[in-house]
A and B are shown apart, each in its own frame.
Chain A
Amino acid sequence: MTALLTIQKLSITLQDNVVLSELDLSLNKGEILGLVGASGCGKTTLLNAIAGFSKPSHGKIVIDKLILSDNNSCVPAENRQVGMIFQDYALFPHLTVQENIAFGISKLSKAEQKKQIDDLLTILKLEEYSDSYIHQLSGGQQQRVAIARALAPKPKLLLLDEPFSNIDARLRNELMVEIRQLLKQFDMTAIFVTHNKDEVFTFADKMAVMAQGKLLQFDAPSVICQQPNSYQVADFLQLGSWLPCQLDATGAQSLLGRLDVDIRSIEQKNFAYLLVKPAQLLLDPEVAENHKANAQVDYISVTEQGYHYYLSSLESEVTAQALSFNKLSLYSDRVLSLKQQVSVSIKAHDFLFFQK
């Protein structure tokens, strides 16, 4: 399968700030890509560059073998066949739902326009609103109009800028499933921007994590979830908590005990952080002679999966300061009290170590 969208060494500098640097990306037809990153990481700029609203300093953007932008030329936004769904939807307030949808297909004959509009109205369950004005619609309906309007000109690529940020949290999941099915039905290639990883896990086939204008990792969401490639990625996506470890020839030493690690599999550094996912931290039975307390409870909150505790290392520990930890997440049904000293241990698994 050839890539529908290819981005090569894309860099953008705005007012002497490097917003994107040397970014490479490619996407196959029909795939949905979720772009995540903290605000200011450049994800919206990347979207704008693909749409033609931001001019790259250098690099190349190709869609369907057509060069949209390289060092010499830049196709204007209106000729790119790239559709966009804006964060505030950007629906035209002076036009009806029908007229909004017709906006991008005015070159078609009236009959063709009508057929296409009717089809979209049906698919998006908007038939009864075709003559309504935008302010008469609810937020969810407005979003559907925005989708219909963007799909009408049959774009090769659809961009969605934080599409779910204005939607009530309770409805969000349902809506994401619905829209994903719709995009799949149209075999639409799409990129959407969000700062919420859960949206990516629900909505996307591919995931790209960005920070400070760079692409940190680009893969299927499940792969990134299991194999984050850096401290930054795991930390941003909050895949677990961090336990400092001292590495040596035979394994790793932490304040929660010694871990048997195949040292060849990790880089030869002597200090690293172990990614501890909730399922990998075990609370030892309370009364046991060989289980000396090694952590204390700092903070307690209640979740639907039981109690969530933040643990930190004990201060009296003689070991090096560098190995002390805090905010280690523990989920358990057992009731613990604040400042209570407990004993925890790490379950053996494919340990993931990272340098900060």
Chain B
Amino acid sequence: MIALYNSKTWKLSSYIIALVLTVPVLVMLVGGISASTQLFSHLWQTVLPTYLENTLLLAFLVVLLALIFGVFSAAIITQTNLIFKKQLRWLLLLPLAMPAYLVAYLYTDLFDYAGPVQRSLRSWFGWQAPSDYWFFDIRTLPGAALMLALVLFPYIYMLTRGAFEQQDQNLIRASRLLGLTAKQSFFKVALPLARPAIAVAASLVLMETLADFATVQYFAVNTLTTAIYDTWLGYGDLGAANALASVLMLLVLFVVLAEQRSRAGLRHQSARPNLSRELIQLSFSQQIIGSIFCWALVIFGFLLPLTLLIVMAVQYSDVAQLSVLMSTGVNSLKISVIAATVAVLIALSLGLYQRLHSDKYRQFPLQISGFGYAIPGTVLAMAMLSTLGPLDHWLNDIVEFLGFAPPGLILSGSLFAIIFALVVRFSAIANGTIISGIKQIPQSLDYAPASLGVNLTGSLTKVHLPILMPAILVAWLLVFVEAMKELPAVLLLRPFNFETLSSQIYQLISDEMLEQGALGAILIVLFGLLPIVLLNKSKEKV
């Protein structure tokens, strides 16, 4: 059947939305790539090699650690009879709610020379000075990698677990009938089959690592993200910051391409996942090792940091803190609510356009509007600045020419820039959720209203939107939470004196005073739990 509607306004607006979402990054890339070779050779001779090296080493270590954490835990949970695995199954997802920079700060506090752990060790063993003993230094590149891996491994855990659970159990049964033990068939059949999913998950971790700003900044590890931030806010050098952002963007593009390639392999996963599986029976010592491994991940990735935050909040909270929390909270709410609403409206408009419009290339606006998910917040912020800045000047010139007072930086210096950046960055999340909702509507429901004499407006308001309501809510919530948590884009783009929950906590962390923001930090973690609960629920349903 052909699609039903051919409204020209709808078509035009869809293409304009998609274009607007894409343009800033294109402007930045063009600006970065066409930056003077002098600038690049200067950067190359000075700081760029170190930044690149650090970035790549960090990425390598995080992915390696996250793979160890994620694949092993997924294998243990799905393939063995570990005790408490029902609880661990969802507990292992929780670290995803913990921002890495919070974990980094809390563990530095805990394991530093002046922290409680080393203090008690010294008092027990009578050590006097740092030279008396060796203790690991957490504020290093490997330390940062560990912090990031501790909160990012659930991506790998989640997708790998999903892959194992979705596997056609007849394949496993066939391998057993051909003489393999349960363990052998795991290594020879189940694990190789899960490879595409693991690759996709690893590239997600890689993207998150490349986008991380606050952890490495706090640990003073110079990576491309911190370099962009310092170059712009420290030296005010937009050109160099743009160039660095372009380098990072190219790295990310490379990862995205790799991810797309591994996604192609996912199609082989198939039906019949519900047949009962035979579990590997663990011996007593294996039970203990397995339990320690999984519980350590849950404790160090989530329970311990949350407890530390709660202790801090109980000890240090006061009325003054609450009022700061209120005002920053309101700011966070404001931008997150607007960003989530705009992102969902765009996703609905483009998603329904793809479904119902007769345009031959109707999937195009949706496709290109979702590309921003891979772009690190710092890069996106640079893109906004390099696009909206000139636009502002141009607007001011026009207004002044017309004889009015120039309005100032109404685009780049206002909430507009932040919200724009958040929408670009998180549109993909809204798109994905809305599209999967739309896909569940049988095609015949698109046609039924017309066969009953009801037009497009009636069809949308009486059929599509009501049916999509759950998907709309979930999409809104997911974007809302991500926007609440987003840090680097907000830090770089916020107007003067405008603090959000996350920027406030970042400031306090930089000043080693998180105690004063512990309540806000707990709030961010709790918000972060929402999508995990949602995701877990929808997974259970399937």
Contacts and interface: CB of A to CB of B under 8 A. Distances in A.
B116 interface: no
A104 interface: yes
A337 interface: no
B437 to A, nearest CB: 13
A76 B450 contact: yes
B283 interface: no
Contacts of A86: 444, 447-448
B452 interface: yes
A149 B445 CA distance: 13
Contacts of A87: 444
Interface stretch (A24-32, A50-58, A114-122, A180-188): A50-58
A342 interface: no
Contacts of A91: 448
A200 interface: no
A196 B46 CA distance: 78
Interface stretch (B53-61, B235-243, B251-259, B460-468): B460-468
A18 B224 CA distance: 56
Nearest to A152: B452
Given A53-B447, A94-B466, A88 B442 contact: yes
Nearest to B466: A94
Interface string B384-397: 00000000000000
Contact of B448 (A14, A76, A84, A94): A84
A81 interface: yes
A189 to B, nearest CB: 15
B472 to A, nearest CB: 13
B451 interface: yes
B281 to A, nearest CB: 41
A51 B447 contact: yes
Interface in B460-505: 462-463, 466-467
Contacts of A149: 452
A103 B454 contact: yes
A78 B448 contact: no
A221 interface: no
B1 A77 contact: no
B449 interface: yes
B117 to A, nearest CB: 56
Nearest to B456: A78
Chain A residues touching B, range: 20 to 34
B453 interface: yes
Interface in A58-91: 76-79, 81-84, 86-91
B452 A150 contact: yes
Contacts of A79: 453
Nearest to B1: A53
Given A48-B1, A53-B4, A81 B453 contact: yes
A194 B454 CA distance: 27
Contacts of B4: 53, 77
A76 B456 CA distance: 10
B447 A153 contact: no
Contacts of B2: 14, 53-55
Contacts of B448: 84, 86, 90-92
Interface string A90-125: 111110000000011010000000000000000000
Main secondary structure on B side of the interface with A: helix
A153 B444 CA distance: 18
B455 interface: yes
Contact of B451 (A55, A82, A88, A93): A82
A41 to B, nearest CB: 16
Interface string A144-175: 00000110110000010000000000000000
Contacts of B453: 78-79, 81, 104, 153
Given A48-B1, A53-B2, A90 B445 contact: yes
A162 B225 CA distance: 59
Contacts of B450: 51-53, 76-78
A93 to B, nearest CB: 7
A76 B463 CA distance: 18
Interface in B428-457: 442, 444-445, 447-455
Given A53-B4, A78-B449, A84-B448, A90 B454 contact: no
A107 to B, nearest CB: 8
Nearest to B445: A90
Contacts of B455: 76, 78
B452 A92 contact: no
A77 B454 CA distance: 9
B447 A77 contact: yes
A218 B453 CA distance: 30
Contacts of B466: 94
Contact of A83 (B445, B451, B463): B451
B361 to A, nearest CB: 14
A21 B453 CA distance: 28
A335 B2 CA distance: 55
A227 to B, nearest CB: 35
A79 B466 CA distance: 24
Contacts of A106: 454, 458
B452 A104 contact: yes
A26 B472 CA distance: 46
B1 A103 contact: no
Contacts of A51: 447, 450-451
A156 to B, nearest CB: 11
A90 B452 contact: no
A153 B458 CA distance: 15
B444 A77 contact: no
A106 B450 CA distance: 13
Contact of B445 (A48, A53, A76, A92): A92
8 contacts: A53-B1, A54-B1, A76-B455, A83-B452, A88-B444, A92-B467, A103-B462, A104-B452
The 8 closest A-B pairs by CB, nearest first: A104-B452, A90-B444, A77-B450, A84-B451, A86-B444, A90-B448, A78-B450, A78-B455
Given A90-B447, A92-B445, 12 more contacts: A14-B2, A48-B1, A51-B450, A76-B455, A77-B447, A78-B452, A78-B453, A78-B454, A90-B448, A94-B467, A104-B452, A150-B451
